Chains A and B, each alone.
Chain A
Amino acid sequence: DQQVKQNSPSLSVQEGRISILNCDYTNSMFDYFLWYKKYPAEGPTFLISISSIKDKNEDGRFTVFLNKSAKHLSLHIVPSQPGDSAVYFCAASAFSGNTGKLIFGQGTTLQVKP
């Protein structure tokens, strides 16, 4: 049972436009969410996170929005650049035990065309 779902396997956008990557979760105990970016033949790297006490967190071109009632989060990249082409994973964490256990989604491959 997939607790964190990224229903779009791939997304293609034009350079300079907005990229919107979506993520849904089912476990209401999740209260901390992260996005990781992964280039081919490399490990994932942390991009941005959001706690459930917020509904938005911004870092430069990257903004994450959280809609707790819909159990949905999204990552906006504005403007998109060719170097943003990568696989993006959302991940979630529940408070219990306050451990580093993360549940990842399946990933969305973003292609930004010049």
Chain B
Amino acid sequence: GENVEQHPSTLSVQEGDSAVIKCTYSDSASNYFPWYKQELGKRPQLIIDIRSNVGEKKDQRIAVTLNKTAKHFSLHITETQPEDSAVYFCAAFYFSGGYNKLIFGAGTRLAVHP
């Protein structure tokens, strides 16, 4: 069935270090992979996304890579800052009987220590 696994569940880094979060998906037909950042008590906000026709996308300190063969994608944050502390969710897009939906990973709680 539809499933997205996300690792690690928690990640603690020192300010300035890099952070990497990994996700795997089950349906090879999935073709869109967004990443959301959720600060405490707030709504999830899209930070970057990638479609299946590219292997990598970068936006300043954030990058996402996609390996369609292995069915996994990763979020890379470089030069982390305390304001990067949040829960990060990956997601994979599925077509389901004419409906479109995102299947989310369980989330990664990132803590960046000054």
Same complex for A and B? Answer no
